[in-house]
């Protein structure tokens, strides 16, 4: 049983900053990947940033503005978003992958709304 709790979403003006946090709880031996996705109305869910094997990757739209930070000891992952734009408006979802003897499993948070006003 794994649960992801997201926080930090809200309303911010263009050019502002916001920090999203995700905490994983439950029976977790090892998390292979922690990342953030987002989905805007009428669009597919897209990858924003991911932390995997000590590396980080970002969507082109997030590079230079967003920073993903993972704390393995606390099983948390944050997404610091700077220089926000109206097009960043979306529901942001925390996602993790857990690898074990039973195979890989993925878990999703409920999502947190980020709204950027112009």
> Does the pLDDT value for residue 103 go beyond 90?
no
Q: Indicate the pairing of strand 112-117 with strand 10-13.
A: parallel
What are the contacts of 26-30 at 24+ separation with CB within 8 A?
A: 26/1, 26/2, 27/1, 27/2, 28/2, 28/75, 28/98, 29/98, 29/100, 30/98, 30/99, 30/100
CA 116 to CA 83: how far, in whole Å? 10
- The pLDDT of residue 40 is 97
To the nearest whole number, what is the mean pLDDT of the chain? 94
pLDDT digit string, tens, across residues 41-61? 999 999 999 999 889 999 999
pLDDT digit string, tens, across residues 62-77? 999 999 999 988 999 9
């Amino acid at each position: 049983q794994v649960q992801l709790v997201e926080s930090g979403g809200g309303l911010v003006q263009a050019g502002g900053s916001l920090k999203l946090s995700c905490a994983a709880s439950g029976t977790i031996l090892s998390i292979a990947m922690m990342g953030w996705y987002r989905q805007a109305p009428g669009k597919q869910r897209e990858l924003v940033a991911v932390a995997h094997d000590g590396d980080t990757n970002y969507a082109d739209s997030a590079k230079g503005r967003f920073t993903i930070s993972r704390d393995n000891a606390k099983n948390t992952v944050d997404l610091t978003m700077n220089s926000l734009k109206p097009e960043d408006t979306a529901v942001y979802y925390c996602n993790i992958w857990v690898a074990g003897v039973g195979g890989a499993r993925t878990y999703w948070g409920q999502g947190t709304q980020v709204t950027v006003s112009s």
